[in-house]
Every structure is written in C-alpha cells, then in structure tokens.
Amino acid sequence: QVQLVESGGGLVQAGGSLRVSCAASGRTFSRNAMGWFRQAPGKEREFVVAITWSGGSTDYADSVKGRFTIPRDNAKNTVYLQMNSLKPEDTAVYYCAARRFMAAMRMESEYDYWGQGTQVTVSS
C-alpha cells in the first residue's frame, strides 16, 4: 500500500510558476512509476505527465510539454510537478498517482494509488 499526499497548490498569475509536491509513504516508493493528472471544473480528469521508477523516462501531454517538468527524489519519497509559464487553462485540481509497476503510463486505470488532489488556480 502507498499513501500519497499532495501539497503546494495555490493561486498564481498567468505566466508565473508553481511547484506542487507529492509525498509518498508506505511500501517501497522507488519502484513505482508516478504520474500527475488534473481535473478542471466541468471536465474529465486528464493525463499531465508520467515518470518511470528510475526517473530516466518521462511522458508529457502535448498541452504542457516544454512548460512542466516532473522531478522525483526517491531518497525523499517525493515527486514534484514544476509548472512554468502557467496559463488560465491550467487551472484544475492536480492529482498525483502511483503504479505498482515501473513503466510510465497515461491511462488512469493503470494507476493503483491516488492522492487527494491540490487546487491550482491561474488568474489572467
């Protein structure tokens, strides 16, 4: 079992930056692929980015490519979502998720553990 807790959300102006964190506890963290998803008001939850257990491979949604990164620190059992050049359309609740396997995946159904989410609001 893995428990995930997100933090660091908030309000930021368009063009600004924000970093949200996802702290994991429970079973071994370093063997889990991790992902970030988001859900905007009135929309379905969507994939943002995923990273392999080693951190050697990442996969980004086209909408965030070049603006977001996903550093992970296995020693701290933490994965981050660094968001730069934020746009109002990035406003959403951001969720981190963990898989029991090492490969990074885009589909929600591939993830076994979820955090509670953190709100990110980008004002224009």
Q: Tell me the average pLDDT of the chain.
A: 93
pLDDT band (50, 70, 90) for residue 31: confident
- Measured CA to CA, the distance from residue 94 to residue 18 in angstroms comes to 12
Of 109, 112, 115, 99, nearest in space to 51 by CA? 99
**Dist CA 47 CA 113 (whole Å):** 15
Indicate the pLDDT class of residue 29, thresholds 50, 70 and 90.
low
| The pLDDT of residue 102 | 87
User: Distances from the Cα of 109 to the Cαs of 15, 84, 100, in angstroms?
Assistant: 32, 28, 12
Q: Which tens digit of pLDDT belongs to each residue from 87-115?
A: 999 999 999 999 998 888 999 999 999 99
User: Is residue 5's pLDDT more than 80?
Assistant: yes
Whether 18 has a pLDDT exceeding 70, the answer reads yes
Place of tokens 């933490």: 78
What is the per-residue DSSP string for 89-103? GG-EEEEEEE-SSSS
**What whole-number distance in Å separates Cα of residue 18 and Cα of residue 91?**
12
**How many CB atoms are located within 10 Å of the residue 76 CB?**
12
